[in-house]
Amino acid sequence: MTDWPALTATEISAALARRETTAVAVAEAFLARIAAEDGAIRSFITVSADQALAAARASDLRRAGGHTLHPLDGVPMAVKDNIDAAGLPCTGGMELYRQRVPTADAACVSRLKHAGAVLLGKLNLHEGALGATNDNVAYGRCENPVKPGYTPGGSSGGSGAAVAARFCPVALGTDTMGSVRIPAAYCGVMGLKPTYGLVSTRGVIPLAWTLDHVGPLARSVADLALFTDTMAGWDADCMESRAAQDGWTARYEPAKGAAPLAGVMLGRPAQVDAVGCQPAVLAAFDAALERLAALGATVRRIEVPGWDPGKARRGGLLISEAEGAFAHAAEMDTRPEGFTEGFLMMLHYGRDAGSLRIVDAQRRIREAGHACDAAFRAHALDALVMPTAPQAAFPHGAPVPANQADLTALANFTGRPAVSVPMGTDGDGLPLGIQFVGRHWGEAAILRMADAFTAQH
């Protein structure tokens, strides 16, 4: 009997199409796995078994009637708990919102539900999506399925953990400075931050509206493309929405042949050496670059003058704190007990920073973004390639490395798409990630690189 939770969304979609199973059977298999194992991992805040089974039954009826909606019809998913799903609590990982039950789906959830995807539940996250451990005092310390006692990363830690633990084939996360890609790297799965504005953020509890993105985590590149394609598109009711060119798609031609990346120009920024990467990360990254070269890519060591990763990341943090304070301004004063002291302190810090520090931080961010644009232009790059995070997952309770988002935040500052995929493990068996940062709207191109790279593993 097939172990459905072991399959990808694309494989489940194919099995459903071949009538080898039903959406109900698949959903039941995932729900059983969650029930049996998530007690120790705490990746879910809410499991929506009843809604999921009802949706799966409806999908099966459609299929029996010969009217499926989309390749995702009947395919399970889960979403980070700062993304609204009608009728389920949406907490943002905050005590403040424990009782908050939206009546409408977020735009991205709505698009996926209209495609027939089956929502299994809402996933744990770092409080307010601002933080990197997912050690959430209100909803539980989420564990890294690869190594209990270790963080899955943040802020979309529950999304990374749930996909790694095979509680869902695909999970949605949000990414303001790296919050999709860091948990993907720490948990040994894949994650895509799309181009800014490609996926509507309407119905997502905001952290920093100028940097927030919704993106999928999965165990296959094809799944990332399928979910991104389904969520993408102009949303007149979302002020952050941007219209892609007509004909835009995340679908890519799978890389084939002996040199599938021939003609691809990759830039390896010198900053990788300066952010304090663990030796195991650098070793794995060197091996990954050799593999990419063997696949036909040209890998060029480049300078990216003007990008100071630490300085830019600190700027991004201040903007997250200030825009976060804007988003939660009323509640900071009226319901301070709904925040942890640490989170509240960060928001106050942003609120009190003042005009000039905000302008300065925005300039630092733009400086980094411009440096990246200039590097793409100077070297005719197809992508920048970097480790996703400078370190592997660390134990819960250990000091949080300050440089965690140094290499991911650049893509948020530029709005460029970035995908993280596994590049092996460190000496303790902890997963490591590599990221490709592409051209604006160039999701298909970086997914093709990710596909070629991971197909070699």
Q: Does 161 bind a second copy (CB under 8 A)?
A: no
Q: How far is the CB of 360 from a second copy (least distance, A)?
A: 7
Q: What is the DSSP string of 185-197?
A: HHHT-EEEEPPTT
Q: How far is the CB of 371 from a second copy (least distance, A)?
A: 8
Tokens of 1: 């009997």
Q: Does 352 bind a second copy (CB under 8 A)?
A: yes
119-138: which residues touch a second copy (CB under 8 A)? none
> Rounded distance, CA 227 to CA 216, Å?
7
- Does residue 160 sit in helix, strand or coil? helix
HSE, CB side, 13 Å, CA atoms: give it for residue 215. 39
The contact mask relative to a second copy for 242-281 (x = CB under 8 A, - = no) is xx--------------------------------------
Q: Does 322 bind a second copy (CB under 8 A)?
A: yes
Peptide bond into 220 cis (omega under 30): no
Q: How far is the CB of 329 from a second copy (least distance, A)?
A: 6
CA 420 to chain centre: 9
> Rounded distance, CA 53 to CA 27, Å?
7
Of 453, 457, 449, nearest in space to 263 by CA: 449
Of 24, 113, 11, nearest in space to 61 by CA: 24
Q: Which of 179, 200, 241, 320 is catalytic?
A: 179
CA 238 to chain centre: 20
Tell me whether residue 13 is one of the annotated catalytic residues.
Answer: no
Q: Does 336 bind a second copy (CB under 8 A)?
A: no
User: Which region, judged by CB under 8 A, interacts with a second copy, from 185-193, 325-333, 389-397, 424-432?
Assistant: 325-333
For residue 290, give the amino acid letter.
E
User: Which region, judged by CB under 8 A, interacts with a second copy, from 47-55, 184-192, 296-304, 344-352?
Assistant: 344-352
Look at strands 298-302 and 44-47 and give their pairing: unpaired
100-119: which residues touch a second copy (CB under 8 A)? none
> Rounded distance, CA 388 to CA 181, Å?
7
In order of 49, 97, 106, 225, 442, the CA distances from 447 in angstroms are 32, 36, 25, 7, 9
Closer CB to a second copy, 238 or 418, in the complex: 238
Closer CB to a second copy, 70 or 370, in the complex: 370
Which of 1, 36, 236, 258 touches a second copy (CB under 8 A)? 236
For residue 425, give the amino acid letter.
T
Q: How far is the CB of 344 from a second copy (least distance, A)?
A: 15
**For a second copy, how many residues bind (rule: CB under 8 A)?**
35
70-89: which residues touch a second copy (CB under 8 A)? none
User: Which region, judged by CB under 8 A, interacts with a second copy, from 23-31, 70-78, 157-165, 362-370?
Assistant: 362-370
Q: Does 210 bind a second copy (CB under 8 A)?
A: yes
Closer CB to a second copy, 182 or 383, in the complex: 383
Q: How far is the CB of 351 from a second copy (least distance, A)?
A: 5
Closer CB to a second copy, 101 or 353, in the complex: 353
Angle between helices 23-41 and 9-17 (to 10 degrees): 150
Q: Does 353 bind a second copy (CB under 8 A)?
A: yes
Neighbours of 321 (CB within 10 A): 25
Closer CB to a second copy, 314 or 370, in the complex: 370
Which of 326, 402, 426, 439 touches a second copy (CB under 8 A)? 326
Which of 359, 380, 398, 455 touches a second copy (CB under 8 A)? 359
377-406: which residues touch a second copy (CB under 8 A)? 377-378
Neighbours of 345 (CB within 10 A): 12
Which of 114, 311, 335, 366 touches a second copy (CB under 8 A)? 366
In order of 129, 350, 351, the CA distances from 94 in angstroms are 9, 18, 19
Q: Does 454 bind a second copy (CB under 8 A)?
A: no
Please, are residues 350 and 325 in contact by the beta-carbon 8 Å criterion? yes
Q: Which of 110, 155, 159, 241 is catalytic?
A: 155
Of 233, 190, 77, 245, nearest in space to 453 by CA: 190
Tell me whether residue 59 is one of the annotated catalytic residues.
Answer: no
Q: What is the largest CA-CA distance in the chain?
A: 63
Of 211, 216, 214, nearest in space to 198 by CA: 214
Tell me whether residue 80 is one of the annotated catalytic residues.
Answer: yes
Q: How far is the CB of 244 from a second copy (least distance, A)?
A: 12
Number of H helices, E strands in the chain: 14, 13
Q: Which of 43, 80, 159, 420 is catalytic?
A: 80
| Catalytic center residues | 80, 155, 179
Q: Which residues bind a second copy (CB under 8 A)?
A: 209-210, 234, 236, 239-243, 306, 322-323, 325-326, 329, 350-360, 362-363, 366-367, 370, 373-374, 377-378
